A and B are shown apart, each in its own frame.
Chain A
Amino acid sequence: MSPELERLQRWMQEVVVHPGTVEEAVASPAAKGEIPADRLGEIVLPSETMTSSERIGVYHGMYLMRMEEALETDYPVIRYHLGDVAFSHLVEAYVQRYPSRSYTLNRLGDHLPQFFLDEPEWPQAAFLHDLARLELAMTQVFDEQESPVLSAEELEAVPPDAWENARLEPTAAFRLLGFRYSVIPHLVAFHEDRPSPTPRRRAAWAALYRRDYSVLRLDLSRAEHDLLKALAGGTPLGEALAVAAQSQKSSRQRAQIFKWFRTWIAEGLFTSIDA
């Protein structure tokens, strides 16, 4: 190992990732723990046009810009809702708590829903937690492995007496979500370039899935969500449908269940059936 190189790298990283000015970064306890602030000029040479501080400041200045660019890619709706200044403030706080530990920036935003749970006093934290869950799930569905889709022919091949205990398996690119806040209108407003609505506490449910490599969404009722959750969780078909039927009061409502089921099969939410 290289002790001097190790120390130099620890020091430079502490300076680069510090959220304050470069002068504050160099004077921070973490950086000073490696190299005293008054030795900056001995470590980094000045150039003809820049001081030592300005030169390391180039790296320091680019760090948060890069983090913000990456998070904006994964959370465009949150950025749209918050605006530039509030989003920058969020990024600064977030990367202090959850810095990148991956070889890819694609994982940087994985903890954003958790961040809003960690920081319940953050403005609109509960709403932003739900919106972050939606956007994170969209990214996950986009990147999941491709799965074969259960075909109508495969379903028809299931013997009638095997339906009761048959279990469905969802595709890898499937996510089921329940929200305390109505976040879908914010996604729609972003795509239609309309002002982001005021957050409203109202339960909502949705399924995300992928078809032809595009991320799609089905907005669901509570009953649809519960049935889909049971099926995706491996509950036998007969049991899941019986529970769903009990929750529907009229025969017309109960007939809806089969319509939902046909839609989910047609949309390609499942990859196989174990009958």
Chain B
Amino acid sequence: MEARNLVKIYREFRLDNVSLSVPKGSIKGVIGPNGAGKTTTIRILMNQIRADGGEVSLFGLAYPGKEKEIKNRVGYVGEEQYFYPNKTVGWTGRFVAQCFKRWDENLFDSLLMRFGISRSKKTKDLSKGVKVKLSFAIALAHHPELLILDEPTSGLDPVIRRELLDLLKESCREEGKSVLISSHITEDLARIADYVTFMHQGRIVLEAEKDDLLANWKRIHYKKGALGDNLVSQLAGVEHHMFGSSGIAKNYQALRDSLADGIAGGDVKVENVTLDDVLITFVKEA
């Protein structure tokens, strides 16, 4: 999947030259606060809205001419789940089965069983969590090569979230699917993503391999006077506390030698950051 220079202009929001790709067989997480442009980007990728500029190519195919081919190879779970409320889960399954070329009824059945969803229940009687599970079952039952998931775990309890993320990881590992997943629950992405893209105010502010990012970004706690001004100026989001200060080093490997004495003397402590810390740093800087 590749998106180049996507632009979408609304009255109060602008998606600004967003370029995104997902390496085959990997999971890419798109992180950003509400209103960052994650959903707009994903809806452009699903051809649900038209970009004002830029190009989208999935499997080397482009919209609108190849919409059917593309969507037959993509599993999509949106931010909100829309089904015909007076129809049953079974009806919904039969309906979508007619649309997909590679629909696997046995797989759909087994996913429904795994999630404990009854075929005879009307979709309006399903809870939010079960609707998301049904969406996952539909997204997976046609053997997609790419999964595009827009905040799929938002508003779900930790048990369901963990269950869905495990399923996602499992299907990636076993079937080599690629996944693009957006979320503002960074904990979920820290758990499963290989790559992360940070979005803020309609722009991509950072793209990196998750493990590299977490190895390079560190929180540095230091006592007053332990670091020179030159070192402090290289830290982001510096905060002063009663017993010292702390800030984020965006390239810890480059600072490590300079910090070695402070660490040995106990005046400097290094702590791992979370993706939340990275996100908050970008938001504060903006």
The answer to whether A and B interact is no
